[in-house]
Amino acid sequence: MSAASSVGDLMNTPDRGKNSLSRDQSAERQIARRLIEGHRSERAEGHTSARAAAAACDQLYRELSRWVGPDGCHALFTRALAQARTEYPALGQIQLRARSEPYIDGVAETIMAHGDPATAEGLEAMLVHLIELLGRLIGDDMAMKLIERSLAASDRGDPTSDRREEA
Amino acid sequence: MNGNSQERAVIRSLPSGVPGLDTVLGGGLPEYSFNLIAGGPGSGKTTLAHQIMFANASVERPALYFTVLGEPTLKMLRYQRQFSYFNPELAGSAIQFINLSAEVMERDLGEVLQRIIGEIERAKPGIVVVDSFRTIAGQPRSSDKGSGFDLDQFVQRLALQLTTWEVTSFLLGEYAAEEQRSPVFTVADGILWLTQATDRNSVVRKLQVVKSRGRAPMPGLHTFRITDDGLQIFPRIPEQTRKRVLKKRERLSTGVRGMDEMIGGGVISGDAVMLTGPAGSGKSTVATQFMVAGLAKGETGVIAVFEEYPEEYLARANNRNPEVGEMINAGKLEVIYLRPLDLSVDEALFAILEAVERLGARRVVIDSLSGFEVALAPTFRADFRESLYRLVGTLTATGVTVFMTAEVSEAFSEARFTTEKVSFITDEIIVQRYVEMEGELRRVMAVIKMRGSDHTHQFRTYEVTSKGVVVGGPLTEYDGIITGVPKLRAKPAKAKRGK
């Protein structure tokens, strides 16, 4: 099954959209994990789950910026981070750097302070909120289209996704 | 190459995907043209561009939609996808949205142009939209001098690049009428101008093709409406552009007992007939009978209702003529409800003509002209006579017989035969009125105009019964019927015997 079709299947489950605010986030979570997975598998030795999650965020920021502009994309991430912080206080040191590479800053400090698993979980939660927010704003199917591009880029091994390692 | 006319480049037309717009454009959008869609905020520019894009984009020849500043892309997508033409399946593949805000805000015009060209080289699109071009043009950039680009050059180079890449392009911008000196107006092959004007409580949207190189667009302002399906244009069709169907001059029964005899055997097919009278005089009843008479002969028909909701109209019509409902279900009769209060004559004409063509209708009832006038947006009421002339002329040109009702206010001592505004458009005029006779309110009717045919000059009484209108005899024993208070003519005194 291709990445795109699996995302489509996930976003189009029958009970989705009935109650956007209270629905369970399992579909968004699976998509977020697919995004992160694409960056984990090809990482160099010693790469952590949190860094893979941050790389997935960086790439999604780049891809979404093409469509909705860097400012529109930054606004989405800002809201998603704020929501994720209420559940994962470990994200307190994470900063979003609009129009910068890498986009997600403070990952190393957060890993140092809270450990890799907590940081990774927090960043994954941010992605989940972002996907959910995007779906509420433009519809799940359109959100899926945008995210597909990011998944396709990570499947291609987009060289820009290596920037996080260099940072 | 020998200059032979057969070797001329053929300019193909692209379908706009906007109902009515291809007619206005003279056949569609010229392929590879560089167009400007101009208008004020909320005039429908973005919606029009999306409709064109969704109608033409394919995976092989995608559409690129560049957003600049102004409406954020997320909001644009959120709202645009509410329209029925927005196919999410096409987004991302056949239609690609690209945001240029960073280039516009932080870089010079040269880099903006390079980014656009780079994306065109990558995607090889058939359609390109830049929304809003005005924000590129209006954005102050201190570095533009450094790039050696000014706005004129930018527009010129953009147009050249887009044409070279065989792209049909649309720049969207908020422009006022007095800004037509902008270089983009000179360079553009086509200019579509959208406006919306408020008059009292109604808003009327209009489209004008200001320029269309290589095409003969329909002149004038064309009204349009934005619905869940996007824009729909109602071309301002001049009556004379439609080919007239030669009248057969057959007699069509009115379905009203006694009335055919009054008008010389029936309504002449292809004529425009007007029945006027005060409130409650039975105009709608006669109109329905006229329609039912046609349906009974196997004809099809269209009734345009302006005063009542269709359910009420049909309930009343069905009471007297149960076949009305059956004919609607059988697809022989269509009742069009037109009562929005911001209607244009062209929209009404479009709806009626479409139904006439769909059903192959022979008879059209417009009930009533008075309601039609009220349903029009105030701005069109001033041109009611001219518009109605066009409407009736266009309808009768198709060969249908048009039966219209019109209410006239009536003082009992004063007869008003027609609404003076519109009687000139009709071939036949029948009037109804109330008179007082022997202490009772009675109804009478008369034929006052019958172009090219004899007709009775008598007043006839009539009754509105549970089966419809039934015409009675002439009032030969009365004088002064026209006053509303007829008097029994005195019988000549008999000569006394023996004198």
Question: Each residue of A71-112: pLDDT tens digit?
Answer: 889 999 999 999 999 999 999 999 999 888 899 999 999 999
| pLDDT band of A14, cuts 50, 70, 90 | very low
Chain B residue at shortest CA distance from A143: B88
Q: Is residue B483 part of a domain?
A: yes
- Rounded to an integer, what distance in angstroms lies between the CA atom of residue B477 and that of residue B459? 11
- Residue ending a domain, among B177, B209, B236, is B236
Range with the poorest average pLDDT among A3-7, A74-78, A122-126: A3-7
Beta pairing partners, B461 = B444
Measured between CB atoms, does B72 come within 8 Å of chain A?
yes
Tokens, residue B53: 């894009």
Q: Is residue A133 part of a domain?
A: yes
Would the ipTM clear 0.85, i.e. be above it? no
- Rounded to an integer, what distance in angstroms lies between the CA atom of residue B271 and that of residue B451? 9
Alpha carbon separation from B297 to A51, B90, B330 (Å, rounded): 81, 50, 14
Cβ–Cβ gap B74/A72 under 8 Å: yes
Distance from CA of B125 to the nearest CA of A (A): 16
CB neighbours of B492 closer than 8 A, spacing ≥ 6?
none
pLDDT of residue A26: 85
* Tally of domains in chain B: 2
User: Whole-model pTM?
Assistant: 0.78
The pLDDT of residue A1 is above 50? no
Cβ–Cβ gap B74/A146 under 8 Å: no
pLDDT of residue B333: 95
Q: Is residue A135 part of a domain?
A: yes
* Tally of domains in chain A: 1
Chain A residue at shortest CA distance from B97: A67
The verdict on B304 and B344 lying in the same domain is: yes
How much of chain B exceeds pLDDT 70, in percent?
Answer: 89
The verdict on B185 and B269 lying in the same domain is: no
Residue with more model confidence, B118 or A153: B118
| B165-185 pLDDT, tens digit each | 899 999 998 887 777 777 778
Alpha carbon separation from B181 to B40, B131, B176, B457 (Å, rounded): 17, 20, 11, 64
Q: Could you give the 3-state DSSP secondary structure of residue B168?
A: strand
- Give the phi and the psi of residue B121 in degrees, each rounded to 5: -60, -40
Contact A118, A94 (CB under 8 A): no
Cis, bond preceding B72 (omega within 30 deg of 0): no
Name every chain A residue with its beta carbon within 8 A of the beta carbon of B88: 139, 141-142, 145
Name every chain B residue with its beta carbon within 8 A of the beta carbon of A141: 88
Q: Is residue B495 part of a domain?
A: no
Tell me the one-letter amino acid at B364: V
Cβ–Cβ gap A70/B67 under 8 Å: no
pLDDT of residue A3: 40
The verdict on B225 and B288 lying in the same domain is: no
Q: Is residue A69 part of a domain?
A: yes
Q: Is residue B499 part of a domain?
A: no
How much of chain B exceeds pLDDT 90, in percent?
Answer: 46
Tokens, residue A118: 């907590």
| pLDDT band of A4, cuts 50, 70, 90 | very low
Q: Is residue A70 part of a domain?
A: yes
Tokens, residue B203: 């808003």
The pLDDT of residue A150 is above 90? no
| pLDDT band of B138, cuts 50, 70, 90 | low
Chain B residue at shortest CA distance from A134: B74
Best of B59, B99, B104 to disrupt the A interface by mutation (most A CBs within 10 Å)? B99
**B154-166: b (≥16 Cβ within 10 Å) or e:** bbbebbebbeebe
What CATH number has the domain bearing residue B77? 3.40.50.300
| pLDDT band of B466, cuts 50, 70, 90 | confident
CB neighbours of B205 closer than 8 A, spacing ≥ 6?
B43, B44, B194, B195, B196, B223, B224, B225, B226
pLDDT of residue B443: 93
Q: Is residue B496 part of a domain?
A: no
The verdict on B306 and B404 lying in the same domain is: yes
Candidates A66, A138, A149; nearest CB to B74: A138
Cβ–Cβ gap B78/A137 under 8 Å: yes
Q: Is residue A9 part of a domain?
A: no
How many helices (H) and strands (E) are present in chain B, helices listed first?
A: 17, 24
CB neighbours of A147 closer than 8 A, spacing ≥ 6?
A7, A31, A35, A60, A131, A134
The verdict on B266 and B288 lying in the same domain is: yes
Measured between CB atoms, does B397 come within 8 Å of chain A?
no
- Rounded to an integer, what distance in angstroms lies between the CA atom of residue B3 and that of residue A151? 54
Q: Is residue B254 part of a domain?
A: yes
Q: Is residue A90 part of a domain?
A: yes
The pLDDT of residue B313 is above 90? no
The verdict on B431 and B296 lying in the same domain is: yes
Measured between CB atoms, does A76 come within 8 Å of chain B?
yes
Give the count of alpha carbons within 13 A of A126, CB side only: 33
Q: Is residue A66 part of a domain?
A: yes
| B263-278 pLDDT, tens digit each | 999 999 999 999 999 9
The verdict on B71 and B186 lying in the same domain is: yes
Alpha carbon separation from B40 to B46, B139, B207, B251 (Å, rounded): 11, 18, 12, 52
Q: Is residue B1 part of a domain?
A: no
Q: How far is CA B328 from the centre of its chain?
A: 23
Average pLDDT value for residue range B323-328: 89
Measured between CB atoms, does A2 come within 8 Å of chain B?
no
Handedness of CA A119, A121, A122, A124 (dihedral sign): positive
User: Can you spell out the DSSP letters for B248-284?
Assistant: ---EE--SSBTHHHHTTSSEETT-EEEEEE-TTSSHH
Candidates A65, A68, A138; nearest CB to B81: A138
The verdict on B84 and B135 lying in the same domain is: yes
The pLDDT of residue B40 is above 80? yes
- Residue ending a domain, among B236, B270, B300, is B236
Tokens, residue A139: 């519809």
The verdict on B169 and B115 lying in the same domain is: yes
Q: Could you give the 3-state DSSP secondary structure of residue A148?
A: helix
The residue whose two tokens read 């009203």 is B256
Cβ–Cβ gap B98/A65 under 8 Å: no
pLDDT of residue B311: 84
- Rounded to an integer, what distance in angstroms lies between the CA atom of residue B482 and that of residue B57? 67
Q: Which of A143-147, A160-164, B11-15 has the highest mean pLDDT?
A: B11-15
pLDDT of residue B151: 74
pLDDT of residue B488: 77
User: Can you spell out the DSSP letters for B223-247?
Assistant: EEEEETTEEEEE----GGGSPPPPP
Nearest alpha carbon to residue B475 among B462, B465, B492 = B462
Rg (CA), chain A: 15
**B36-65: b (≥16 Cβ within 10 Å) or e:** bbbbbeebbbbbbbbbbbbbbbeeebbbbb
Range with the poorest average pLDDT among B21-30, B142-151, B320-329: B142-151
| pLDDT band of B231, cuts 50, 70, 90 | very high
Q: Which run of H or E residues covers position B443?
A: strand B440-450
The verdict on B267 and B231 lying in the same domain is: no
Domain range spanning residue B340? 241-487
Q: Is residue B272 part of a domain?
A: yes
Rg (CA), chain B: 30
- Rounded to an integer, what distance in angstroms lies between the CA atom of residue A47 and that of residue A66? 28
The pLDDT of residue B144 is above 60? no
- Scanning chain A, the segments in alpha helix (DSSP H) are 3-11, 26-40, 49-87, 107-114, 116-138, 140-156, 163-166
The verdict on B86 and B132 lying in the same domain is: yes
Q: Is residue A1 part of a domain?
A: no
Q: How far is CA A22 from the centre of its chain?
A: 20
Range with the poorest average pLDDT among A63-72, B109-118, B418-427: B418-427
| pLDDT band of A18, cuts 50, 70, 90 | very low
How much of chain A exceeds pLDDT 90, in percent?
Answer: 50
Cβ–Cβ gap A142/B67 under 8 Å: no
Tokens, residue B356: 């006439």
The pLDDT of residue B385 is above 60? yes
Name every chain B residue with its beta carbon within 8 A of the beta carbon of A137: 74, 77-78
Cβ atoms within 10 Å of B380's Cβ, excluding its own: 23
Residue with more model confidence, B341 or B3: B341
Residue with more model confidence, B387 or A17: B387
Name every chain A residue with its beta carbon within 8 A of the beta carbon of B77: 68, 137-138, 142
- Residue ending a domain, among B236, B263, B294, is B236
Contact B256, B471 (CB under 8 A): yes
Nearest alpha carbon to residue B235 among B381, B367, B351, B399 = B351
The verdict on B302 and B281 lying in the same domain is: yes
Q: Is residue B464 part of a domain?
A: yes
pLDDT of residue B208: 96
Domain range spanning residue A129? 31-158
